[in-house]
Amino acid sequence: MKNELIEKLVREAEKSMKNSLAPYSKFKVGAALLTKKGNIYTGCNIENPSLMLSACAEKTALLKALSEDERSFRAVAVVSSAGKHCYPCGSCRQMLLEFAGDIDVYTANANEIKRYSLKELLPFAFSV
């Protein structure tokens, strides 16, 4: 993927992170999911005192895309307010693999962008 597109994806994730509702952890996360058509769907984390009811940024972006009938994806970018690389949690990795396949995952901090395949981050994914 071209550097300009990767950087755009990271910027979209950063913009989305600003909408995060993280009053408990103060750990804001933003994600941007790129479709094969070139559309970008964003999401941020939204916390609830009952942590089971919270929503991750990656899952929010994925569900937005799926609800708009998107089914083919290229990559996802994930950023956090912590200033270091942030990776999708296990639940989000499983959801992304199920619905997006082995896409590229980009994590970014102020100094660098790293790329992983989703299967690198989830080597023993659940499947039926």
Which two three-digit tokens encode residue 38?
Answer: 């070139």
pLDDT of residue 84: 95
Alpha-carbon span 59 to 43, nearest angstrom: 8
**127 pLDDT higher than 90:** no
pLDDT of residue 51: 83
Tens digit of each residue's pLDDT (9 = 90 or more) over 89-107: 999 999 999 999 999 999 9
What pairs with residue 35 in β-bridges? 73
Q: d(Cα 65, Cα 114) in Å, to the nearest integer?
A: 23
> pLDDT by residue (tens digit) across 11-57?
999 999 999 999 999 999 999 999 999 999 999 999 999 988 999 99
Instruction: State which CATH number among 3.30.1300.10, 1.10.3720.10, 3.40.140.10, 3.50.50.60 fits the domain covering 3-121.
Output: 3.40.140.10
Higher-confidence residue of 128 and 29: namely 29
Summarize pLDDT for 62-92 with one digit per residue, the tens: 999 999 999 999 999 999 999 999 999 999 9
Residue 51, token pair as written in the block: 């942590």
* Residues involved in catalysis: 58
**What pLDDT is attached to residue 128?**
85
pTM of the model: 0.96
Run of H or E residues at 126: none
The set of residues, in sequence order, having a beta carbon less than 8 Å from that of 47 and lying 6+ positions away, is 21, 22, 23, 24, 25, 54
Looking at the predicted structure, is the pLDDT value of residue 59 above 90?
A: yes
| Every domain of the chain and the residues it spans | 3-121
